Copies of this chain bind each other. A is one copy, B any other.
Amino acid sequence: MSEFDLIGRLAPYLDGAGDDAAVVDVAGSPVVLTTDVLVDGVHVDRALSTLSDVGWKAVAVNVSDVAAMGARPGAATVGLCLPQDLGADDVERLYAGMAEAAARWGVRLVGGDTVSADQLVVAVTMLGDPGPAGPVLRSGARPGDRLVLVGALGAAAAALAQHRAGIDLDPRLLAAHRRPEALPDEGLALAGSGAGAMIDVSDGLGADLGHLCAASGVRAVVDADALPVAEGGGEAARDAGTELWALVCGGGEDFALVAALPAGVAPPVGTVIGEVGAPQPGAPTVELVLPDGARQDIGALGYDHLAGRD
């Protein structure tokens, strides 16, 4: 079973899933609502991250989902599963990291539920206000749109690659891995400029563009030369023996934003990295054009949270 198979099987039970956040009507106004679950040993590696980093990240990933809807982050609740080896001081460290991230992005932590379990799990749920431009879904990209990316790619994956290769970690990459930056102001700016579709790069640029293309019924062609690589990413890829484009297009947790903007609109932030096309039979949905003109299918690159399960 892959995560995406499962999402398909559960679709009949879910009302409107398929974006970074759900759009919900509250008292006549649309709000966005999103949940992200971090599991110790799966989404966080406590050899690399402190408990306060885990708290930061649990908030940041939700802010990034809200940002990808072109919305401003608001209130959040925390569902926390605590294993026996974590005491009150540890929980306070975790909450201190959440509070730092909350302060960074104007989030209010309003409550939650803390329970005993075998494994540390942090499930944050966040509301967001899409403002006058309205929520931006994944489904509104049109052939001819330009793809605009804000943020940098590859930092978290490069840090992990160095860690796994036993190389000293580049502190810039480690910092990005431990305390990712979400981009809600940039998301609001792109929404305000008329972005037809937007997504955050959480599974990897290839996979996430694949989701956007599937929802919009389009294809994407990306120019490798235009991709903003995190500082230190090139050296890390070389040292770890990985191709840079694979790291940059397949690494998750960059929390960059990618939007499809109509061709006539000047991007308010970010860089044009490619364009949206009509679907072509036989052609890959997400294609990367390398500097030498070679083309790579990158739609299948990226992180599948349930890969390898029955």
> How many Å lie between the Cα of A81 and that of B83 in the bound state?
15
Given the known interface contacts A9-B91, A26-B74, A116-B305, the answer about A16 and B79 at a Cβ–Cβ threshold of 8 Å is no
Q: Which residues of B contact A118 (CB under 8 A)?
A: 118-119
Q: Does B77 contact A34, Cβ atoms closer than 8 Å?
A: yes
Q: Which residues of B contact A127 (CB under 8 A)?
A: 24, 26, 33
> How many Å lie between the Cα of A290 and that of B171 in the bound state?
66
* Closest chain B residue, CB of each to CB of A30: B27
Q: Does B6 contact A91, Cβ atoms closer than 8 Å?
A: yes
Kindly identify which residue among B18, B75, B82, B98 contacts A24, using a CB–CB cutoff of 8 Å: B75
Q: How far is the CB of A98 from chain B (nearest CB, A)?
A: 7
Q: Does A309 contact B (CB under 8 A)?
A: yes
Q: Which residues of B contact A88 (CB under 8 A)?
A: 1, 5-6, 9, 310
Residue of A9, A27, A81, A110 with most partner-chain B CB within 10 A:
A110
Q: How far is the CB of A57 from chain B (nearest CB, A)?
A: 14
Q: How many residues of chain A are within 8 Å of chain B by beta carbon? A: 68
Q: Does B37 contact A80, Cβ atoms closer than 8 Å?
A: yes
Q: Does A283 contact B (CB under 8 A)?
A: no
Q: How far is the CB of A83 from chain B (nearest CB, A)?
A: 10
Residues of A7-32 whose CB lies within 8 A of B: 7, 9-10, 13-19, 21-22, 24, 26-29, 31
> How many Å lie between the Cα of A119 and that of B39 in the bound state?
10
Q: Does A35 contact B (CB under 8 A)?
A: yes
Q: How far is the CB of A96 from chain B (nearest CB, A)?
A: 7
Contact with B along A275-310 (1 / 0, CB 8 A): 000000000000000000000000000000110011
* Closest chain B residue, CB of each to CB of A35: B77
Q: Does B78 contact A305, Cβ atoms closer than 8 Å?
A: no
Q: Does B26 contact A110, Cβ atoms closer than 8 Å?
A: no
Q: Which residues of B contact A115 (CB under 8 A)?
A: 37, 39, 42-43, 305-306
Question: What are 5 pairs between A and B in contact, CB < 8 Å?
Answer: A10-B92, A21-B111, A34-B77, A36-B79, A77-B125
